[in-house]
Amino acid sequence: MNQSDRNLAIALARQAGDILLRHWQDRAQLTIDTKRAGDFVSQADFEVETHLRMSLAKLRPGDGWMGEETGNGGGSAQRRWIIDPLDGTTNFLRGIGHWCVSIALQDAGQLVVGVVFDPLRQEIFVAEFGKGASLNDQPIHVATTQTMQPALLGTGIPFGTMPHIEAHSADIARLMPQCAGVRRMGSAALDLAYVAAGRLDGFWERRLQIWDIAAGLVIMREAGARVEGWQTGERPEDTGSVIAATPTLFDPLALTLRKG
């Protein structure tokens, strides 16, 4: 019997996690390159992505591929795997224990499987379209926070020469008086999974890449989050900009952000 897409993604994420844990123990020896100011890629990123790409080429030879480090690759345009081999590379390289593997499957333009695996904590967030979301095989749902005042939000802060630094600073200035706090932890994929698990009440960020958010979008939606892009009805997977929150908090959060 063929392995289901969901179970395949879980197995591959765990394999990737094993590779990353080996490098984590010896990270001072890693070869590191700089893509742009503040944006790094390491030997660990490439090794994991190569392993995942080769595995999927063997096990799903007809499927397409999109990886952070190697871009698009062959196969069907109908079905493609979207991979971030190490989301939170800067954290990883600096010894900060907040990073993960992100694996998603897109079919006919719809994200249908998402897996985010945190190897250090051995936490695996999983979702399949229409089947709910789980953390270590236990169902998860978004928080029940009812108002913005006690809400804890996640975001990513632009760096280097990114053109939207001022806009994001203005977002924070408008939101901080309304909520309990904003966290910038350095891994968008894990942040989205934390919204799904109720650890964060919402998340926003502009101009992310599809591999940063694909798996997390599936997990959040299946956990009951409301998710849109910067415009009403826009899909984050189409634009890279995401606003997500519990259903109760989405409207006040989106209203504040869309003023900018």
Task: Give me the pLDDT at residue 157, please.
Answer: 84
> Which amino acid is located at 4 in the chain?
S
Mean pLDDT of the chain: 91
Topology annotation, domain 152-257: D-Maltodextrin-Binding Protein; domain 2 (3.40.190)
The residue to which tokens 């910038």 are assigned = 184
Enter the DSSP assignment of 88: T
Task: Give me the pLDDT at residue 161, please.
Answer: 62
Separation of alpha carbons 194 and 68, rounded Å: 22
pLDDT in tens, 134-146: 999 999 999 999 9
- Please classify residue 107 by burial: count the beta carbons closer than 10 Å to its beta carbon, then call 0-12 exposed, 13-18 middle and 19+ buried: middle
Q: Is the pLDDT of residue 39 over 60?
A: no
pLDDT in tens, 97-131: 999 999 999 999 999 999 999 999 999 999 999 99
The residue to which tokens 């019997």 are assigned = 1
The whole model's pTM is what? 0.93
The average pLDDT across 92-98 equals: 92
Topology annotation, domain 5-139: Fructose-1,6-Bisphosphatase; Chain A, domain 1 (3.30.540)
Separation of alpha carbons 171 and 226, rounded Å: 19
Q: Any idea which of 90-99, 126-135, 188-197, 247-256 has the lowest mean pLDDT?
A: 90-99
Domain edges within the chain: 5-139, 152-257
